[in-house]
Structure 1
């Protein structure tokens, strides 16, 4: 309403999903990936800047010290051939998920389908075996995949995408700050109702990065397992449900605009 961005661009820009996931899904929906990327980056930056500070203040107010707490060093498990075989199996499940999501005509089938297929396979496999199944994903592979995603998104930037962006950035900044404070209020209510710690509640529902929020929960003595679970669930639900909801809203908006023009 207050900028020159399209409806779909605004939807995907303000959705509290993953920084790498939202631009990819937005591109398939015909949204402006440059604007979506900028707004998403602003959201993640503000969340990482504000949420740890708010959580630290709440820890201090409750008497929990957040100083001099060592962060455990995460080491990669020793390589075994079974881990490599499970990795190849997950790739197969990822492809099966892609085929299923494409058949159901969901947006971004490669991203959403692969994520859903692997998540289901990993969960069911761990459930039947009775312990976590570890796959082989070297850290270098994860870094390379992030570089490829970022390069793919950045290569599609064009000068025309940034027209009228000043007003969009201003509106996005204030709306993101409002989103953060409304999330904090909801986290306080959840903490009071469920009796979980306020730090855990804030970090679990914060619309930021999974790694950043989990690390902060470790430092502030929060329940890092709960934080990871809620953060992953948030990303999964947003990537699966919101794109379809956005398409429906965009269709209704275009239909309303078309009927108004024909009536004139």
Structure 2
């Protein structure tokens, strides 16, 4: 408990310093950088999974509250980009797996689990019974998330997005009756999804349920904006805490290979975003954030900070994550058979 409090205090300090420096998404990037630096230095920093899940649900409510009654038409408008995800995920995974296998000289299992674009915690757990080097997988996947969250706002700015100091949210007051609807229905849906062992249950459940409540007009207004700042701090700290004490002599090869793989991944994501822009009316920045292989929460927060359609970004990232989980589940069977031969 004491370690968690100290971690959150330091994360808040990092966010405040980033806010003073007018860095985009300051509460997330600042907290992530400071806790990440402490983790690499061997300091004991930690954010409990339960606390992260709670604020992922808060973030889901913010994302869902931006949905309007024309959501069905939006999904029809996104049919080409959503369909492209089905090709993009396995192709990107294959390319980066081959890169890690032949350029990084990792075994096939380590290369595959290090290359899969998303679901970091699930990947680390899945890799443990596959014969992969779990430490390498954790390092490379954490490095991918860290580099993407750090670079995504700057890349979005280069692509034409107007970065704002912090996400824009509706600041109209939420009535007690509406708050009761949000807490009751969201709580029930999240518990159901968790019982069904649905990945990202907190964010996906809250975003979907809130979207229905707001789209139907049953709920109006929004949560206090300070809750979003708190979610940014906790989410950023949870990413930074994933880093482990490093010896440069031991891991410089993994880091160098991981950075090169990240650059290749960004080139593929940008190329796919350009294709989406040509096929649809979606702007290049939104398309890039929708296909950038980061966490659902992180990419959605960047979209919020740019005052873009966060629903579009969230929907595509959720489809990517769930498709990836299906591929990983199938791969576990294949790697198990390979080890048995």
Instruction: Give the TM-score category using the shorter length.
Output: 0.5 to 0.7
Partner residue, 1:256: 338
Matched ranges for 1:205-216 at <5 A: 205-207=291-293, 209-216=299-306
1:187-226 matched pairs, under 5 angstroms? 187-207=273-293, 209-216=299-306, 218=307, 224-225=308-309
Superposition RMSD in Å? 3.8
Find the aligned partners of 1:258 and 1:143 in 2 and give their Cα distance: 44
Are the counterparts in 1 of residues 168 and 304 from structure 2 also a CA contact under 8 Å?
Answer: no
Name which of 190, 213, 217 aligns with 1:94.
190
- Alignment partners' CA distance in 1, 2:156 and 2:236: 26
Q: Distance in 2 between matches of 1:148 and 1:48?
A: 18
Tell me: CA distance 1:76–1:244, structure 2 relative to 1, closer, same or farther (3 Å).
same
Q: Displacement of 1:153 after TM fit?
A: 4.0
Pairing partner for 1:130 from 198, 209, 217: 217
1:146 maps to 2:235: yes
Q: What is the rounded CA distance, in whole Å, between the counterparts of 2:200 and 2:165 in structure 1?
A: 36
Query: Any conservation in 2 of the 1:184–1:202 contact (CA below 8 Å)?
Result: yes
1:117 is the counterpart of 2:205: yes
Partners of 1:241 and 1:233 in 2: how far apart?
12
Cα contact 2:142–2:239 (8 A) shared by 1: no
Pair 159,211 (structure 1): closer, same or farther in 2 beyond 3 Å: closer
Counterparts of 1:190 and 1:140 in 2: how far apart (Å)?
Answer: 31
The 3 A distance-change label for structure 1 pair 140 and 186 is closer
Give yes or no for contact 1:83–1:135 (8 Å, CA) kept in 2.
no
Q: Does structure 1 conserve the Cα–Cα contact (< 8 Å) formed by 2:182 and 2:210?
A: no
Distance 1:148 1:88, change over 3 A: farther
Structure 1: give runs of 5+ residues left out of the alignment: 60-65, 102-108, 219-223, 260-264
Q: Quick check: 1:47–1:207 contact (8 Å CA) kept in 2?
A: no
- Tell me the CA shift for residue 204 of structure 1: 4.3
Segment of structure 1 superposing worse, 230-239 or 129-138: 129-138
Separation (CA, whole Å) in 1 of partners of 2:334 and 2:167: 50
**Residue of structure 2 in register with 1:104 after alignment:** none
Aligned to 1:76, what secondary structure does the other structure show?
coil
Closer, same or farther in 2 for the Cα pair 1:70/1:255, shift >3 Å?
closer
2:120 is the alignment partner of 1:23: yes
TM superposition shift of 1:115: 3.2
TM-score normalised to the size of structure 1? 0.65
> Which 4+ runs in 1 deviate beyond 6 A?
69-72
Structure 2 stretches of 5 or more lacking a match?
1-100, 129-133
Range that drifts further, 39-48 or 141-150: 141-150
Aligned to 2:93: none
CA displacement at 1:149 relative to structure 2? 3.6
**Match of residue 145, structure 2, among 37, 40, 49:** 40
Deviations along 1:38-80, one digit per CA (max 9) or x if unpaired, are: 2321233343443422x13xx9xxxxxx69x999954533242
C-alpha distance in structure 2 between counterparts of 1:99 and 1:230, whole Å: 27
Secondary structure at the aligned position of 1:77 is classed as coil
TM-score, normalised relative to structure 2: 0.53
Shift of the alpha carbon at 1:170?
2.0
